[in-house]
Amino acid sequence: MITLRGLTKRFGATTAVDDLTVDVTPGRVTGFLGPNGAGKSTTMRMILGLDRPTAGRALVAGRAYRELRHPLHTVGALLDAGAIHPARSGRAHLLATARSNGIPARRVEEVLGLVGLDDRAAAKPGRALSLGMGQRLGIAGALLGDPPVLLFDEPVNGLDPDGVRWIRQLTRSLAAQGRTVLVSSHLMSEMQQTADHLVVIGRGRLITDAPTAEVIAGSSAASVRVRSPRPGDLTALAERLSADAATVTVDGPDALTVTGLTAERVGDLAHELGVRLHELTPVTASLEQAFMALTDGSVEYAAGRTSPTPHRIEAR
C-alpha cells in the first residue's frame, strides 16, 4: 500500500501539495488525476524520496522510501522516460540499474521482452530513442525488480494506439496480480477504461477519492434524453421538470435533455401529465465531463473562459 498522511510540500510561498491524505491499495488500478499544476508529479516525487515533504508522511509498504534496503524490489516507477544517459544503450542502462539493486542480468532480458523492445531497439543509445521507445524502456526499468508497488506518470505519452492498449492491459494485469498500481494521466478516455479507483486533486488538495464508476455516476453531466411526438406536451413537461429542480435543454422540436433527475423520475412526471414518450434514455457522463465538473475551480491556466475579439476583415 501507498500511504499518504497530511502530505504537504511548499516551495517558498507556493504550496504544491496541501495536507493530502490518501491510501492507494493493492489489487486495483488507481488513477491519479488533476489539472496541470495540481501537484501530481510533486506527490509522486515525495513518495519516491526525490522531494522531502514540508509536513506529513509518504510511505510505501509502511516505510519511507529512503528506509527501503532494496527499493526496486519494493516499488518501481516511471516518472521521466528521458532519464537515461544519451550515449548509453537501453540494455546497458537496465543492466546498471539491475546491478545496483542486486537483480540478476537475466531479468533485463525478461523485461525487455515484456515491453516489446528487441535486440536492435535495446542496443540504441538514449539519444536515438523515440518518445515511445523511451516510454517502453522506462516501464521496463519500473518492472525490473518485480515490485509489488508501481507508479507510472503519463505512461502512454508517445505510444501508438497498440502501445496504449498494451499499457492498459499491462496495468490491469499487474493490479489483478495483487499489486498496487498508481497511474497519473491526462487522457480521461483511457483512464475511464483503465482505472478502478480515482484520486483527484486540484491546487494540491484532495477533491475526491472514490471508485471510477461512482465518480462518473455522480457527475452533474449525467442526463436523460426525452422525446415525444407532441411538442406541446414537451413544453408542459419541461415546465414541470423545471419545477422539480431539473435543468432542461430543448434539443429540437421533439426532444429534451434533462439533468438533475433520474430517468425514473422523469418518466413518473411524464406519466402524471399524460405525456406520451417515444424515448426516455439515461445518458451517462464520461469521465472527462465528470473531471471537468470536479476541477472547474482548480484549473491553474484556463483557456477559453472569455470570447476572443472577432477579427474584422475589411473589403478593399
pTM of the model: 0.80
Percentage of the chain exceeding pLDDT 90: 67
Alpha carbon distance 41, 49 (integer Å): 12
Q: Are residues 58 and 184 in the same domain?
A: yes
pLDDT at position 220: 65
Q: Cell 506527490 appears where?
A: 43
The CATH number covering residue 281 comes to: 3.30.70.790
195 with 239, same domain: the answer is no
pLDDT category, 103, cuts 50, 70, 90?
very high
- Reported confidence tier of residue 126, pLDDT bands at 50, 70, 90: confident
State whether 33 and 123 are in the same domain: yes
Q: Which three cell numbers stand for residue 26?
A: 493493492
pLDDT band at 130 (very low <50, low <70, confident <90, very high): confident
What CATH number should be reported for the domain holding residue 115?
A: 3.40.50.300
Do 182 and 227 belong together in one domain?
A: no
Residue type, 229: P
Digit-coded pLDDT (tens) for 216-229:
877 766 789 999 99
Render pLDDT for 31-57 as a digit per residue (tens, 0 to 9).
999 998 899 999 999 999 999 999 999
pLDDT of residue 302: 47
Mean pLDDT, range 268-291, rounded to an integer:
91
**69-82 average pLDDT score:** 90
Please check whether residues 201 and 255 belong to one and the same domain: no
How is 190-214 classified by DSSP, letter by letter? HHHHH-SEEEEEETTEEEEEEEHHH
Contact in structure between 77 and 17 (CB atoms under 8 Å): no
For the chain, how many structural domains are there in total?
Answer: 2
| 253 and 171 in a common domain | no
Over residues 91-109, the mean pLDDT reads 93
Same domain for 172 and 233?
A: no
Q: Is residue 304 part of a domain?
A: no
Domain that holds residue 287: 223-296
Is the pLDDT reported for residue 303 higher than 70? no
pLDDT, residue 236, reads 93
295 pLDDT more than 60: yes
Q: Are residues 233 and 264 in the same domain?
A: yes
Q: Per the structure block, which three cell numbers stand in for 191?
A: 483512464
